[in-house]
Structure 1
């Protein structure tokens, strides 16, 4: 039998769960959801639904909007996400620069900044940027998502070759400066989260592969990351896929790594860098050597077929600057993936949806961590248009 304290804890946890359910319903149908709609969707009484809405309004998470269309009786008042107060800080960290964005609860970026630094000045520049945000926006910032290249458990950077970091407790450091929870997100994981957010009801396994200066992957299940117990899932760039004379030397010093054949440096030449503008990458793609594209597609297809045989994903999504390679590379990749597919299902391959903002994945991860909700695809698209 529950004692009084246990009963209170249970009641509080049920209340929190119901608040998240009500808030998610507003996030999914902002501007059209109503108190009656929440009651119907949750099975709660009208009085309980109204109580939840009142608390969410008091917390400045949602607001009353226009009156809904009449259904014969008194017109209900619609509910919308409150985009006027709370903010999520997103910090996209790269080796020599960073992008800082303040994201409102409707997903729109209200402030963006660029930082430039050297490896020696990076820590000081990032700390100074966070201190400046904290001073300007104060308690309006309810969470931060820090996107970076490297392995992380959300709290520490285990290893980032690009940043030269190893076992860095970055989240705790930034939290002390910001005064709000901080979540670290691997950059490819952030892309996969943003991609999953563009689908209304994602289901099954999805394999997301980033092709840029390096090669990385992420796996989602029903729209959520499936990172593995050691947070190392997706580190496929230095898995050997080519052998013998076909194996090229990789920058890691070994031969035949997936990155040595399928990175954009391999596909487009040494001129490519991750810092290139999209127009420059697209121009390189037009003149890319057919043999290099074919070799890269074959190498990548080997990795895709092996992973697909184990996971049986619903699809494979290619993200990063590789989305600028166009139909020529995608057709080659699909042909190679389909080749010798006996015994396994044919897996469709497509490019990532590029309509979301650069900060969408890390912002979504932070939003879910602090409030337990997700944006709808319509919100992400609308937010991207507003931000541009």
Structure 2
């Protein structure tokens, strides 16, 4: 009887603690809505406490690392009239289905991989003028990019600048979201449901994908990776000329409960850092904003994973670091790159192919001479 009493007592304490956490969650929502600020809040994940939600941001992004990735600067004299409103989905309608797709990290804290993969997908489509309608696999990154994370379980966090290097140097296969059965390597149940990254498998894991597909031949590469200057116009020009970008932002507790409007931090503690996709911008009645996509699925927010966040002074850290890449390394005369010797590299497959071709030429010349 004493043991039963102790168990009941402990369960009652646990229930009380859970109730208090849920109460705090709804208190936070009430604070935002009662202040009648530029946005409204709601319970996007009704069955989750604030502490549960914080696990989605537990990653180490490493955005203060001193990597030597080059920075592309756009020459502002060519872009005097930047529009008040811009939406990449409308600018490139042939790629609307790719750009509009909101990814869901599930139980895996992997925005460091998911958002760059989404941006790569958008840009491959844009550069190919709608011919390459594929989703770059975040599962391939989470499981096989060992340099991207210091954790054995990469669902505990990673460094998004390493993702871009991996795309350039090793390439990434295609793959849709969990249960999508699209692409070579879609998101696995282990990653999405359990928050545990499986071991790297260098083959297509989707049984419905091309049975004769060669994993290495299915890879997509970027020839150039770079930072975008932390300046509003530079980011705008990059998006309107090349496509969406990946941006680091600071997350506060109230961000979990965003419904609609222009987000600005109102209440709640700083939780951590997160990577989101900026696909445009606009202006509300009072505030200028970035148009961005989150990685928490289409159940988050009224716009199904899309949100507006205050553009002024890079509020909430949106834009504290912005990165992108391209399939084609050729730059226009309207831009230049600083530290290009590090950022622009030919991917390894192309390098080996070039060396092999050079060897053949040398052999042919030697045969002719003798």
Same fold (TM over 0.5): no
Q: Which has the higher contact order (CA 8 A, sep 6+)?
A: 2
TM-score normalized by the length of structure 2: 0.25
Give the strand-richer structure, 1 or 2.
1
TM-score normalized by the length of structure 1: 0.24
